[in-house]
Structure 1
């Protein structure tokens, strides 16, 4: 079963990526980081334990921690001269359905100050907000992809004949604007006022 990381777990992993070569002791971790969080992430294999400052127990990101955050190990991040890390995944283990498209939409919606679905499934957006009724710029568009519960989700960026343009994640393993057949659209959603 896939574990989607809580906000507290995400905060800890973001903190640990800053200086990932050293084991950070409890006093160096974000306020509110408790034993339950550390134990859960260690048991999932996302954190490694080892001696920190003054010989105290410490924690750092494991290779799986990097995969959980970015879908790839640390050694592959920034390859080919990429100036920034790819989009965060925030689930473990990552599966094709949890890798990025819904995570990207959740990230954007939450950055706008609204609550997302909290789900890594694209079709979870079918129950979010309200029906857009038409092609509203920036509305959330949900597409079919194989059999349910699979799907794809992104933001409406335009039309090109019988195709819809979506800004989304996991489109060619990147965040970009891609074209899809309009016949695949199963929902257009906007936030409730």
Structure 2
């Protein structure tokens, strides 16, 4: 399909109008440097009409997003990177978890303890069969983050040094920065690799 546009005279020049000619390529044509020619169908014949569109990703029943072309129609292009950065600076700050203020190593240890995806026996045995059994070296329970942080008798001394009074697991994993630092200190002093 051919499309013509007129570029009018500018206010500062007396040059004649320029005609701009653009050609829209459909999806059923291909250019390989030798001009446009129809694509071949899998059966060997030339495609007679536009090729069928396939969904880029199957949906799971949720609301579908319009394509990038549909989203851009009718909008003025003002979303520059600078504009987005300025808007981001103007938004009110949201409260963040204190773990963001810790070092990367401390963050990794805390996330592994929170999610249970760690190198403790329970996870390594159940998911990967790399540990001989899920039980802790104390022999009482499975070696989980909760067992290590709360009840393991082999780690009682280290636990009492870090937390002299009983502290709930929720506070140890999701508390203030000081509590989170205590948790990571306990893990390193116990010699555990999580």
Fold in common (TM above 0.5): no
Higher relative contact order (CA 8 A, sep 6+): 1
- TM (norm. structure 2) is 0.22
Q: Which has the higher strand share?
A: 1
Q: Which has the higher helix share?
A: 2
- TM (norm. structure 1) is 0.22
